[in-house]
Amino acid sequence: MRGKIFLITSALALSILSVPQAEALGFTRTPSTVWFHTYASGETTKNSAAADVKASEVPKSANLETKSKFIVTYNGFPDDAKVAFQAAVDIWSDLFQSSVPIRINATWGRQASLVLGSTRPDFFYKNFIGAPARDLNYATALANALAGKDLDPARPDIIMTINSRSPFYTGTDGKPSPRTYDLESVVMHEIAHGLGFLTLASYDPFFGYGSIEDPTPFDAFAQLADGRRLMDLSSPSLELGGSLTAPLYWAGAIGVAANNGIKPLLYTPATYEGGSSVSHLDEKTFSQSATDAAMTPNLDAGEVFRSPGPITLGMLDDMRTKPGAGIPVGLPEAPRNVKAIIGDKSAIITFDPPANYRAAQVTSYLVTASFGGQSAEVTDSPALITGLKNGSTYSFKVVARNQLGQSPTEPSNAISPEAGWRTTVIDGIADGKYISTNIYKSQPIIAYADSKNGDVKVATFNGKAWVLTTVDGNGTLNGKTTNNVAGDISLCVTGTGTKQTLNLFYPDLVNKDLRYAEFNGKTWKYEVVDGDAPTIQNYSEKIRVRTASDVSVTNACAVTPSGLQVFYRDESQGVLLGAVRSADTWIYELIDGDRATDGRSTGDVGFHLQAAVVAKKVYVFYDSILTVNQNSEATQGEVRLATRSTIYPEDWVFQTVAAAGGAVAVSGYNVAISVVGNRVFGSWYSASGITLPHANKINWAVISNSDPVVSASSDSYGTPTGALAIDDKELLFGCEERLCKISKLDQSAHLVSNAKLNLKSDAVWITINKVRYALTSVNAKLTLLKP
């Protein structure tokens, strides 16, 4: 599986996200699978081609800058067709407002005879920052425009195919012959679909059922004659199916105003047409309009338009606003899957909405503690209940409310809140999102990220206090950089006694390089290890050299008697690379991800990566994704171990520590490793097929002995995700975006920190003056925690 798979990185890093659930991935996304079409009517326009230019071209703005920038990738297009396509793009760039470039992947290919063009968004995004309504699915380009950022820079926004078999007129003067179809008009129409002029409703012609599982803002503004919103009908249902072939109207204020105060009628023929019904203006009402014919479903030969029309533009503007509430039908049913999660003098209550939440138009949820009177009213899950007493037992009741009343109550499980650990801040300026620790001159040392300033720092302990030093990211002296270097970090120590050297590896997040800083006790020296070559070296090449790949994602270093080694993910090709220090140069190697022989894998490897050493033997522990779904979420993944006692590439021995199979669909999400005596402990998360894309188990084993895997559930502490660390007694793990610990002896869990952690934050065990602490980022500060 070669090639860069950006969202998988996010997915694994954040509980195999809903990427994306990419903003620490608060949003989710759904792949677009339905195409929306322009059909050839088979008729010739009644007026002459020259006189029948509908919705005449909007005058160019006097401003030099357009409202948006479209970037088109052409696949197989003739040059004259590119000109017509670009003409339509230029018109839209003056009409559609977006600070984010809109990327169209356009193909000139064969389609069904009456289809002139077909389009779909690449994805639909929900719950992103800037979304007018959290529960609606916005087409990629519209979502990016609302978010003010590209939610997935690796992918196009609009996918379009133009039928190469159609008799197109490719001129831009608006004068096609009566037997040809104006290509610029077709592209004008299709871009509107790509921007979000569409429904995600579906219809079962055999049973007559209609469904809307993931409504779009278009669905939220589409209304029945009685004023109910299309998206609020029960799904699936015969009522919804009937509504898809009955009159539907646009209810958005801007679109209605553009139609002289009358709700525009949508296209809903008696026989449902997939990719056409609902997602157009009504053919009979608007096909002869001088201004608004562009978004009717059929195009006549010789018909021309040079603007989508004021109604279409008004409808797209409506979709940038929050839809009005629908009309509630009956009382809500009870909320589902109510669960209470332990907090410090608090509880987190999660739940799913009632089965009829759309039809009932649920406005809020009331969560009440079983005693004490504590309650919270929220519009969505989860709810935080504070003011509880640690050690007391509580359960909670949840009801859903609408304008007509409230649902039956649904109880939760019982929990007992407990206190988190005491905290000591080491660095109140730096967040310590990424952390690596070691022992330097008999005292603990911490390397950590300062995400706010884009720096890498170290904290050295002098026996009484911490001394903080900024290592890189804040200058150019002696090979430093001012680029953002606050990424994944690994820290190794070479030498013995007083002649020890610090070896620090970290990324250049601007140039996507792997950097190296060396401290000899007096001065720092800097260089780039890899990523700064002129070209990307193909994974299949056996003799390895520097590469231009993105090597800024993960890294882990190790020191053996053979020398200093560093291992890192090649994000551009999904393989695991390595470099060995020899004198003042680096010798490069490819470790895994390139083939299915010699115990290796063709999985996408190294999203999470750690290394350890026992005597001469190095252990490299990492995850591997084998398959993904359409949403770039892992559906099969494993945890792997590579070992060797030399520095020679041919000496690597590979094993799969945790494979997919049985109740386990994906192992990975994060990995941790530690050495106690001669034993190497490893830990990771895993998910069942039922809980995907979220993990549900915490796993560990003595990986140096191939011991059986032990698995535990976090139960009342929430979904395991993010931070992970292991020693001989306990594991630290992320729990519902907080920090918890679990005992390896009896698998009992406890809360460590109630503060919300960044989902990518590290956590480690560290011993200071013989006292054991947890170390992580708490409230964006590098913090020690102890009971």
Residue-level pLDDT at 497: 81
- 22 or 27, which is more confident: 27
Contact 728, 675 (CB under 8 A): no
Share above pLDDT 90 across residues of the chain, in percent, rounded to a whole number: 84
Q: What is the average per-residue pLDDT within 743-766?
A: 94
Other Cβ atoms within 10 Å of 750 Cβ, number? 17
378-407 pLDDT, tens digit each = 999 999 999 999 999 999 999 999 999 999
pLDDT range class, residue 7, cuts 50, 70, 90: very low
What single-letter amino acid sits at 131? A
Other Cβ atoms within 10 Å of 181 Cβ, number? 24
d(CA 131, CA 380): 15
Q: Dihedral sign, CA of 242, 244, 249, 251?
A: positive
> Half-sphere exposure of 20 toward its Cβ, with a 13 Å CA cutoff?
25
Contact 654, 600 (CB under 8 A): yes
Closest by CA to 605, choosing from 583, 633, 637, is 637
- 299 or 61, which is more confident: 299
The token pair that represents 395 in the structure block: 């359960």
pLDDT range class, residue 53, cuts 50, 70, 90: low
Is residue 672 scored above 70 in pLDDT? Answer: yes
Closest by CA to 366, choosing from 388, 355, 351, is 351
Return the minimum-mean-pLDDT range out of 18-22, 448-452, 648-652.
18-22
Q: What is the average per-residue pLDDT within 142-157?
A: 94
Helix (H, G, I), strand (E, B) or coil at 286: helix
Residue-level pLDDT at 56: 44
Q: What is the average per-residue pLDDT within 281-298?
A: 95
Closest by CA to 631, choosing from 152, 141, 123, is 123
Phi, psi (deg, nearest 5) at residue 698: -110, 130
Give the N- to C-terminal CA distance of the chain in Å, as an integer: 45
d(CA 38, CA 297): 6
The token pair that represents 482 in the structure block: 């001012």
Residues in Cβ contact with 464 at an 8 Å cutoff, skipping those fewer than 6 apart = none
Is residue 638 scored above 70 in pLDDT? Answer: yes
∠ at Cα 592 (588, 593), nearest 5°?
Answer: 120
Owner of token pair 């709810």:
383
573 to 52, 262, 294, 488, 763: CA distances (angstroms): 52, 55, 43, 19, 28
Q: What is the average per-residue pLDDT within 193-204?
A: 95
d(CA 741, CA 735): 9
Pairing status of strand 298-301 against strand 36-44: parallel
pLDDT range class, residue 631, cuts 50, 70, 90: low
Taking each helix axis from N to C terminus, what angle separates 183-195 and 310-318, rounded to the nearest 10 degrees?
20
Label each residue of 15-74 as H, E or C. CCCCCCCCCCCCCEEEECCCCEEEEEEEEECCCCHHHCEECCCCCCCCCCCCCCCEEEEE
Q: Dihedral sign, CA of 666, 669, 670, 676?
A: negative
Q: What is the average per-residue pLDDT within 675-702?
A: 94
DSSP category for residue 265: B
Pairing status of strand 102-109 against strand 158-163: parallel
Structural domains present in the chain: 26-42+62-317 (no CATH), 334-413 (2.60.40.10), 420-784 (2.130.10.10)
Is residue 60 scored above 60 in pLDDT? Answer: no
Phi, psi (deg, nearest 5) at residue 144: -60, -45
Q: What is the average per-residue pLDDT within 134-154?
A: 94
> Half-sphere exposure of 85 toward its Cβ, with a 13 Å CA cutoff?
24
d(CA 670, CA 26): 19
Please return the burial class of 586, using the count of CB atoms within 10 Å of its CB with bins 0-12, 13-18 and 19+. buried
d(CA 656, CA 645): 19
Return the minimum-mean-pLDDT range out of 509-518, 590-599, 639-648, 755-764.
755-764
The token pair that represents 437 in the structure block: 């620790």
The token pair that represents 104 in the structure block: 């169209």
Taking each helix axis from N to C terminus, what angle separates 140-147 and 183-195, rounded to the nearest 10 degrees?
60
Contact 638, 605 (CB under 8 A): no
Answer yes or no: pTM beyond 0.75: yes
Biggest CA–CA distance in the chain, Å, is 93
pLDDT, mean over the chain: 91
Phi, psi (deg, nearest 5) at residue 406: -140, 165
What single-letter amino acid sits at 464? K
Closest by CA to 184, choosing from 85, 114, 94, 115, is 85
95-126 pLDDT, tens digit each = 999 999 999 999 999 988 889 999 999 999 99
690-741 pLDDT, tens digit each = 998 899 999 999 999 988 999 999 989 999 999 999 999 999 999 999 999 9
426-435 pLDDT, tens digit each = 999 999 999 9
581-607 pLDDT, tens digit each = 998 899 999 999 999 999 999 999 999
d(CA 88, CA 72): 11
Return the minimum-mean-pLDDT range out of 60-69, 361-370, 555-564, 592-601.
60-69
